[in-house]
Amino acid sequence: MPFTPLHMGPGLLFKALSQGSFSLMVFGWAQILMDIQPLLVMAGGGGQLHGFSHTLIGASLIGGAAIISGKYLGQLGLRLLGLGSACPIRWTVAVTSGLLGSYSHVLLDALMHADVELFFPLSDARPLLGLVSYGRLELFCGLTGALGALAYLTVIKRRHRQLKPPLC
């Protein structure tokens, strides 16, 4: 699922369920970082589309980069939205969100892309490939996104009525 918002579906549900213990900004940033390598392959026309970035080692490294850069970029974004002081991104939140972002991305892609080698360099096995059809995977991502967005908006509306601070 390169460059699609479908990876954000599970992230919206994570956010709705864990609220201030999860950063959708850091999660989304991890999604973007995960697909830089496929973008470069598509732009340059050479290499394996889902190469090293789509292994568990690559996802760990990219998750680490998302944690560090996403914490600071997310806080900058929140400041620009006027929520910076009310919603700081704690390190534990950045770690959880960055790793969930990179690992969920590579696991979802491993279900549908034949070139995702999760266990490289130890093995080229593709144990997840084809376990779920592409249509069901899209449906899962779409439904988790819709359910997560609905739940999140419901919580925000309820908090607003109770005059509570914004939900981070």
Domain ranges of the chain: 5-161
Residue 162 tokens, joined: 């109770």
Provide the pLDDT for residue 20.
83
> Which two tokens mark 120?
């490289």
C-alpha count within 13 angstroms, C-beta hemisphere, residue 11:
24
Report how far residue 55's alpha carbon sits from residue 47's, in angstroms, rounded to the nearest whole number: 15
pLDDT 10s digits, 126-167: 999 999 999 999 999 999 999 999 998 898 888 777 777 666
The mean pLDDT value for 17-29 works out to 91
Look at the pTM and tell me if it is higher than 0.85. Answer: yes
Do you know the residue count of the chain? 168
Supply the DSSP symbol for 122. T
Q: Are 106 and 59 in contact (CB under 8 A)?
A: yes
- Res 84: pLDDT: 67
The residue-averaged pLDDT of 52-71 equals 96
